């Protein structure tokens, strides 16, 4: 069952602006990941943050994780038209040490539109 | 890096026919693979866990007789949608864990 909720459901911004998406989940996790999906295509893995981490950066991406609130945020700085896509968070409750390693629960996603 | 190849990328079939989708791990062995389904403008929902050499584990509400999963080798899992109906039209995507979480490129199934 889907446990993740993301907000906003849709976000429309101008090129150069920052985009912030939030994700909440319900159960304990080993890690949380963010993925991008262009319309009708496969998933692109963006970043993974472990439950013992609070913040992680990768290029223009910044992810935070608050396990006490069971929430995460993805910030895309200086957005570009090419960032237009759907963004999903996904949680893995067990990680590599668990028997269900790889079994992910996805959030509902945020549709980001960046206008040139 | 780890690569998962999924075929076909797109398939159109007639109602009542069966369609097989393949998911291959190209440079690593995957004892476990996962199959997800995504309806238009919705999120990915886990359908089943494919286990090499044993029966797949299906999520609640997923008909195992309709969505047949075979994982006969350490590099190949197949999903067969049997007696397909228009409501089975969806985006199906597989994943495996090798050097991390790796997804196939997905299969767009349209049942007419």
Q: What confidence category does residue B60 fall into, taking pLDDT thresholds of 50, 70 and 90?
A: very high
d(CA B25, CA B33): 9
* Residue A97: predicted pLDDT: 65
d(CA B72, CA B31): 10
pLDDT tens string A7-60: 889 999 999 999 999 999 999 999 999 999 998 788 999 999 999 999 999 999
Is any Cβ of chain A less than 8 angstroms from the Cβ of B96?
A: yes
d(CA A24, CA B63): 29
Quick check: bond before B11 cis, omega within 30? no
* Residue B100: predicted pLDDT: 79
Is any Cβ of chain A less than 8 angstroms from the Cβ of B51?
A: no
* Residue B11: predicted pLDDT: 98
What Cα–Cα distance (Å) separates residue B16 from each residue in A76, A78, B67, B83?
Answer: 45, 49, 13, 4
Chain B residues 69-88 with a CB less than 8 Å from chain A? none
Q: How far is B17 from chain A (nearest CA, A)?
A: 24
Is any Cβ of chain B less than 8 angstroms from the Cβ of A41?
A: yes
* Residue A2: predicted pLDDT: 36
Number of H helices, E strands in chain A: 0, 11
A5 has a pLDDT exceeding 90: no
Q: Is B21 left (phi over 0), alpha (psi -120 to 50) or beta?
A: beta
Read off the pLDDT of each residue in B63-68 and give the average, rounded to a whole number. 96
**Residues on chain A touching B49 (C-beta within 8 angstroms):** 100, 103
d(CA B27, CA A69): 38
pLDDT tens string A55-112: 999 999 999 999 999 999 999 999 999 999 999 999 998 877 666 678 899 999 999 9
**Percentage of the residues of chain A whose pLDDT score is greater than 70:** 93
* Residue A102: predicted pLDDT: 82
Identify the residue among A92, A103, A107 best suited for mutation to test binding to B, counting B beta carbons within 10 A and taking the highest: A103
Is any Cβ of chain A less than 8 angstroms from the Cβ of B97?
A: yes
pLDDT tens string B91-101: 999 999 877 78
Is any Cβ of chain A less than 8 angstroms from the Cβ of B60?
A: yes
**Percentage of the residues of chain B whose pLDDT score is greater than 90:** 81
Tell the residue number behind the tokens 């299906």, with chain if given.
Answer: B58
CB contact under 8 A, A96 and B103: no
Read off the pLDDT of each residue in B55-81 and give the average, rounded to a whole number. 95
B30 has a pLDDT exceeding 60: yes
């Amino acid at each position: 069952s889907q446990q993740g909720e993301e907000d906003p459901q849709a976000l429309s911004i101008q090129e150069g602006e920052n985009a912030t998406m939030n994700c909440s989940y319900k159960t304990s996790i080993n890690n949380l990941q963010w993925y991008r999906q262009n319309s009708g295509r496969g998933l692109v893995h963006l970043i993974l943050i472990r439950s013992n981490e609070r913040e992680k950066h990768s290029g223009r991406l910044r992810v935070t994780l608050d396990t006490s609130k069971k929430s995460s945020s993805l910030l895309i700085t200086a957005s570009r038209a090419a960032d237009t896509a759907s963004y999903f968070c996904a949680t893995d409750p067990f990680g590599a040490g668990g028997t269900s390693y790889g079994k992910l629960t996805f959030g509902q996603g945020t549709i980001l539109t960046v206008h040139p | 890096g780890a690569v998962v190849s999924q075929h076909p990328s797109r398939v159109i079939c007639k109602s009542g026919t069966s369609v097989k989708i393949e998911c291959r791990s190209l440079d690593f062995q995957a004892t476990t693979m996962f199959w997800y389904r995504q309806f238009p403008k919705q999120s990915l929902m886990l359908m089943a866990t494919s286990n090499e050499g044993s029966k797949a584990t299906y999520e609640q509400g997923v008909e195992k007789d309709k969505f047949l999963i075979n994982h006969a080798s350490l590099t190949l899992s197949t999903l067969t949608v049997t007696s397909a109906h228009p409501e089975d039209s969806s985006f199906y995507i597989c994943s495996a864990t090798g050097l991390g979480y790796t997804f196939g490129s997905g299969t767009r199934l349209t049942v007419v």
